[in-house]
Amino acid sequence: MIDQEMKKAVLENFEKAFGKRDGVKAYFAPGRVNLIGEHTDYNGGHVFPCALTIGTYGAAAKRDDNKLRFYSVNQNRVGVIESSLDDLKPSDKAGWTNYPKGVIWAFAKRGMNLDKGFDMVIYGNIPNGSGLSSSASLEVLTGFILRDLYGFDTSNQDLALIGQYSENNFNGCNCGIMDQFAVAMGKENNAIFLDTADLSYEYAPIKLEGAKIIITNTNKKHKLTDSQYNARRSMCEAALAILQKTTDIKGLGDLSIEEFEKIKGQLTDPDMQKKAKHAVYENQRTIEAVKALKDGDLEHFGKLMRQSHESLRDDYDVTGIELDTLAEEAWKIPGVIGSRMTGGGFGGCTVSIVKDEAIENFKKTVGENYRKKIGYDATFYTVEIGGGPEVL
């Protein structure tokens, strides 16, 4: 489902920005949505994301010096941002190019050094700040381009790990592996059931007979690197350290609900106990949800989506009025199988599974009620499940 217009535009913009077309190749890496399993990936639990047919398009060509030149069609007012292989340090003035530069830096950390620089143009159709992983999409796209242009021997799974490493250590956001993994390993019409503890995974076919996946964007701007996300992670790490004194576990995801209930009293800080509870319960919900899907029980899958949102709201405290309004309004509508926030939270999107005949009513009613309560519009996207990165 490659958008030929986007491909054409990215190549035309390359010619406009850098004055050449020969030897320029076009690429694509998807965005992702997580169906269930939120804030479990850095707790050694399971996640269930899928790649989307929207994502980031890129055009790139090697240079014969060590200059790096970047241009984003989405941020065309910024113009060309120039850098070099000698300047792989994060900086405010580098703006969005900190993401590709971080990937180049992370490649070098693995002994894969670029002998020459390159020019790169990107053009994304992932809504900005939506929590559909535009940063992971850009990281995997960059890694994929580097592998193709410079002939590095690295797997798609490695591209995911390199992208996560660069986001953690170059860009300062302590994200788990899910986003980059879903982008790098996407498979059409399948979600990925991933155990983040050991990166074992299986593809699960998504058969939504007579229903669609709809993503609703709160249009509230959120920035993941902010302290809120890292604070949740730190609290879970602190909870894990306490429980490890008496229990042999590597991550909170190792605990069953029964085991957690037995030992949760060791977490004397009530807020810490709630955060740990979410990590344990959400992991078990994800395992149960994938089984429900395999059994063709979409209704049960939908119930678990709702429980996931309620836990993210009440225990993990990452939703906020915008996401809660979207989810709670969706739950009232006949034909909505399930709806929950997706991504890091604090803004971004909900993901809903909606029966075909209910889609118009869903968009109209949720949209009107959201505007009444929040004061501005939400945006609705009907999405398809796509594959991983590719050369176009």
Burial label for 255, CB within 10 Å (0-12, 13-18, 19+), is buried
Q: pLDDT digit string (tens) for 11-58?
A: 999 999 999 888 899 999 999 999 999 999 999 999 999 999 999 999
* 189 inside domain: yes
User: 3-class DSSP state for residue 173?
Assistant: coil
Q: pLDDT digit string (tens) for 171-182?
A: 988 888 999 999
225/327: higher pLDDT: 327
Q: pLDDT digit string (tens) for 318-377?
A: 999 999 999 999 999 999 999 999 988 888 899 999 999 999 999 999 999 999 999 999
* 127 inside domain: yes
Q: Where residue 225 falls among pLDDT bands split at 50, 70, 90?
A: very low
Residues with a known catalytic role: 179
Identify the CATH number of the domain in which residue 117 sits. 3.30.230.10
Looking at residue 387, its amino acid is: G
* 361 inside domain: no
Tell me how far apart the alpha carbons of residues 33 and 337 are, in angstroms, rounded to a whole number: 17
Q: Where residue 222 falls among pLDDT bands split at 50, 70, 90?
A: low
Q: How many domains does the chain have?
A: 1
Neighbours of 229 (CB within 10 A): 21
Task: Show the domain range for 20.
Answer: 4-206
DSSP 8-state class, residue 347 = S
- Relative to beta strand 46-47, strand 190-195 is antiparallel
* 278 inside domain: no
Tokens of 69: 């030149």
* 370 inside domain: no
* 13 inside domain: yes
Q: Tell me the DSSP string of 59-116.
A: EEEE-SSSEEEEEESTTGGG--EEEETT-----GGGGGGHHHHHHHHHHHHTT---SS
User: Residue 212's beta-bridge partner residues?
Assistant: 354
* 322 inside domain: no
* 258 inside domain: no
Tell me how far apart the alpha carbons of residues 85 and 83 are, in angstroms, rounded to a whole number: 7
